[in-house]
Amino acid sequence: SNGNIDWQKCYGGSDADRAWIIKKTNDDGYIIGGITYSNDVNGFHGGIIDGMIVKIDSIGNIQWQKAYGGTNQDFIRTINLTNDGGYIVGGESLSSDFDVESNNGDSDAWIMKLDSLGNVAWKKSYGGPGTGGDGARSIMQTKDGGYIFSGYSSGAGGDIISNNGLLDYWIVKLNSSGNITWQKNYGGSDYDMSSSIIEGSDNDYLVTGR
């Protein structure tokens, strides 16, 4: 509370590693998501960049650390807690193997459901053939037990119904197994990207971005 450092730690491998999101967990620890270039991080699949998640306790000790992705480039951008003690994870992927289901062209929005130890329960890729790529920047579990993510899409086709311009806000509602129940595109003729989504009290959602 007085601005002094309680503890500090470094995580990753022998190359570059970046953390983009951190959330407090129910055990007073933290879950950290980002990317790694380090081929000595547990589970690294190649392709220069993998997503990386680190679970730490309340004083920063590593409980588990894993890389996720395939043999192309994979980015973890968002992570949130789920009611079963696990995690829902989102980002972008250019891969179509290992921890990534498939690829529709350029980058896809990449979603994984993890258990409490970081094991992959299911994995899904969503996107189309647009050359600007598609991605997830915010994800959460919804009151009905499904999930919703917000991010961006380019072009129409594949999983994407419509397109308004170069990049659109892309809002996708999933059921508990990760199948799409509905989706919406919002934007104009230029670049629009959603960076955050939360669920309101009246079966509505608040979305922000740029």
Number of C-beta neighbours around residue 24 at 10 A: 11
Strands 17-24 and 30-36 come out as antiparallel
Q: What is the mean pLDDT of residues 174-203?
A: 95
pLDDT at 2: 78
Q: What is the DSSP string of 152-169?
A: EE-SSBTTB----SSBEE
Which residues are CB-neighbours of 132 under 8 A, at least 6 positions away?
106, 152, 154, 155, 166, 167
Average pLDDT, the chain: 96
Query: How remote is the C-alpha of 171 from its chain's centroid?
Result: 14
Do residues 107 and 139 lie in contact, with contact meaning Cβ atoms separated by under 8 Å? no
Say whether pLDDT at 1 is over 70.
no
Say whether pLDDT at 160 is over 90.
yes
The three state secondary structure string of 92-152 is EECCCCCCCCCCCCCCEEEEEEECCCCCEEEEEEECCCCCCCCEEEEEEECCCCCEEEEEE
pLDDT at 65: 98
Q: What is the pLDDT of residues 42-77, one digit of tens each?
A: 999 988 999 999 999 999 999 999 999 999 999 999
Q: What is the pLDDT of residues 76-133, one digit of tens each?
A: 999 999 999 999 999 999 999 999 999 999 999 999 999 999 999 999 999 999 899 9
The Cα–Cα gap between 38 and 8 comes to 21
Query: How remote is the C-alpha of 3 from its chain's centroid?
Result: 31
Say whether pLDDT at 36 is over 80.
yes
